[in-house]
Structure 1
């Protein structure tokens, strides 16, 4: 059970409502994560601004792969469930690729480099090695792309931490944190 009271639709702060309305329209539901984040319009709107800017970077499948790798390292069942749902149903990523992305791997070499980098970034708390940087550069990522991968990882880490802190009830098809 979620460890924080989820606001009903009529109790969401007015300053959070535009982001909530946009998320509800896109997903055809109001995810529990966004109900929680709506309690702080500053946090929700800050996250939304970062997400909006980063949605213009890389490609959707790669962003989803990074989300899966980061959420796996952070053991966030809510985000693993949400991102697996989005990856499968919106980005049309197959189940095997989703599983590989969670492990920091991919069938595609460029994606493999990005998700491995994101995984290493989380596991080392940002203290990656020269080899990590070399591998992602060799895969064809520019310096700007590497900054974008780091920013995406931070964005996903924020939602991982919110969900892990409050044990947010999963309102997507549940994915277990163990990779099978």
Structure 2
């Protein structure tokens, strides 16, 4: 059972109704995560702003989905793992092998694999990364802009992972169980 309730758009009063309308405009739907986050319109707006800013960055959507999958797997977040498996498949057009590989912070594409490995190293080191990890990423062609955006994507994904784990958000996506719990 969820530890935080959802606020349905039809039941919302201002300013929650306004922020849920912003989510619907941005995403075309209002996922349960946003309905649950809506207890704090500031949090919803922060999530939307960071997500929107990164969506026009240098890391393409399929790789952002792979980064989200790797982070959700690392943090054992079933909601985010389920959501990004669905979005990765249906929207970013990742094939099932790439979705599975992303859960292990890997990819058949060497550049994407380097970004995933770097993100994994940053997460596991809580920001402390060996020089060799950065050298390996740069040798694979990872730019400083990409390194910066990996940190941004990691922050975004940790935000949603931790929120959904704490809230025990109702999962409306086809469920994907973290490997540690499978």
Q: Which residue of 2 aligns with 1:131?
A: 132
Q: Which residue of 1 aligns with 2:89?
A: 88
Q: Which residue of 1 aligns with 2:60?
A: 59
Q: 1:152 & 1:10 partners in 2: Cα distance?
A: 31
Q: Which residue of 2 aligns with 1:168?
A: 169
Q: Which residue of 1 aligns with 2:38?
A: 38
Q: TM-score, normalised by structure 1?
A: 0.92
Q: Which whole-Å deviations, capped at 9, do the CAs of 1:92-149 have from their partners, x for residues lacking one?
A: 1011100001101000000000111111211121111111111211121211210111
8 Å Cα contact 1:16-1:38 kept in structure 2: yes
Query: Gapped runs of 5+ residues in structure 2?
Result: none
Compare 73-82 and 111-120 and name the one that shifted more: 111-120
Q: Which residue of 2 aligns with 1:107?
A: 108
1:8, distance to aligned residue in structure 2 (A):
2.2
8 Å Cα contact 1:104-1:112 kept in structure 2: yes
1:36, distance to aligned residue in structure 2 (A):
1.3
User: Over the residues paired in the alignment, what is the CA RMSD in angstroms?
Assistant: 1.8
1:4, distance to aligned residue in structure 2 (A):
1.2
1:154, distance to aligned residue in structure 2 (A):
0.4
8 Å Cα contact 1:12-1:38 kept in structure 2: no
Q: Which residue of 1 aligns with 2:12?
A: 12
8 Å Cα contact 1:68-1:83 kept in structure 2: yes
